[in-house]
């Protein structure tokens, strides 16, 4: 197996007396979909926010291609950050901007592309995600599923190497959940990005996962593929899967 692209080594993070991460060790490989599962509030989103730099760990290291994230200088951090995209649980679309401007925002603000090229790139993503014709609409005028696609289009418009999905199916009905999962799988295959999906949609999310990690009590208690997790004898894993299947 190749070296991990992103690696958590004994990462700890606390909020006052709440010890969310108590020594997380996790490896994420390039070009794969890694799914992080765990109970609500167990720190899955916090884990993602450490990768993108929205939060900093109290101790431990996060390695990017073998190099500690904390040791990167400002320019290297910027270069790494520009390779990442983050899809929020709530989509975090800008409600005062129309759909076109929402998708174009990262290019408008950060790239040196001309307006014509930006328009071309945005239109291409809109067409690939089947949201053409919604340019002038505002997020509140779209359905939940369409908003997810807009959020994904915004995440993909910068041609990222890594896309972080924070509970992308929260609040959706079973049909839409399935379609969002297929969308992630399809576009990951099409664009080849590394995906890290945080979810507690068990067992549906296993269908898209190449690797699965489970976070429990601030630690990764399982790492492996779908077959391994389904046959795992780990007590925490078994009880979580059984509990989710019953629900």
Return the number of the residue (88 or 223) whose C-beta is nearest another protein.
88
Give the strand pairing for 67-68 and 59-64.
antiparallel
- Rounded Cα distance, 74 and 54, in Å: 15
CB atoms < 10 A from the CB of 11, how many?
A: 23
88 is an interface residue for another protein by CB under 8 A: yes
Give me the least distance between CB of 7 and another protein, in Å please: 21
Per CB under 8 A, the list member of 109, 116, 227, 245 interacting with another protein is 109
Stretch that binds another protein, among 18-26, 63-71, 80-88, 190-198 (CB under 8 A): 80-88
Stretch that binds another protein, among 30-38, 101-109, 140-148, 170-178 (CB under 8 A): 101-109
- Burial label for 19, CB within 10 Å (0-12, 13-18, 19+), is middle
What is the chain's Cα-based Rg?
A: 18
Binding mask 159-198 for another protein (x = CB under 8 A): ----------------------------------------
Return the number of the residue (78 or 189) whose C-beta is nearest another protein.
78
Give me the least distance between CB of 16 and another protein, in Å please: 14
Give me the least distance between CB of 35 and another protein, in Å please: 20
Stretch that binds another protein, among 5-13, 20-28, 33-41, 89-97 (CB under 8 A): 89-97
DSSP codes joined into one string, 32-57:
-EEEEEE-TTSSHHHHHHHHHTSS--
Return the number of the residue (118 or 241) whose C-beta is nearest another protein.
118
Identify the DSSP state of 3. Answer: P
User: Taking Cα atoms as reference points, which of 78, 52, 89 lies closest to residue 198?
Assistant: 89
72 is an interface residue for another protein by CB under 8 A: no
Binding mask 33-52 for another protein (x = CB under 8 A): -------------------x
Return the number of the residue (160 or 218) whose C-beta is nearest another protein.
160
User: Taking Cα atoms as reference points, which of 220, 218, 214 lies closest to residue 238?
Assistant: 214
Identify the DSSP state of 143. Answer: -
Return the number of the residue (139 or 218) whose C-beta is nearest another protein.
139
Q: For tokens 């959706």, what's the residue?
A: 172
Give the strand pairing for 59-64 and 6-15.
antiparallel
């Amino acid at each position: 197996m190749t070296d991990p692209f992103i690696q958590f080594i004994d990462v700890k993070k606390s909020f006052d007396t709440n010890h969310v991460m108590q020594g997380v060790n996790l490896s994420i490989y390039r070009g794969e979909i890694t799914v992080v599962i765990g109970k609500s509030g167990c720190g899955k989103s916090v884990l993602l926010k450490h990768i993108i730099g929205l939060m900093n760990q109290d101790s431990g290291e996060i390695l990017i291609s073998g190099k500690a994230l904390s040791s990167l200088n400002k320019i290297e951090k910027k270069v790494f950050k520009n390779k990442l995209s983050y899809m929020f649980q709530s989509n975090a679309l800008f409600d005062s901007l129309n759909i076109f401007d929402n998708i174009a925002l990262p290019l408008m603000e950060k790239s040196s592309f001309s307006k014509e090229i930006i328009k071309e790139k945005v239109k291409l993503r809109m067409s690939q995600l089947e949201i053409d014709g919604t340019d002038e609409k505002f997020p509140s005028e779209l359905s939940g599923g369409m908003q997810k696609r807009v959020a994904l289009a915004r995440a993909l418009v910068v041609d990222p190497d890594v896309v972080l999905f924070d509970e992308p199916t929260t609040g959706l009905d079973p049909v839409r959940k399935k379609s969002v999962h297929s969308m992630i799988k399809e576009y990951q295959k099409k664009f080849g990005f590394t995906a890290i999906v945080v979810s507690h949609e068990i067992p549906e999310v296993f269908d898209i996962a190449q690797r699965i990690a489970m976070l429990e009590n601030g630690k990764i208690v399982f790492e492996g593929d779908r077959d391994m997790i389904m046959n795992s004898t780990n007590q925490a894993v078994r009880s979580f899967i059984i509990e989710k299947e019953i629900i």
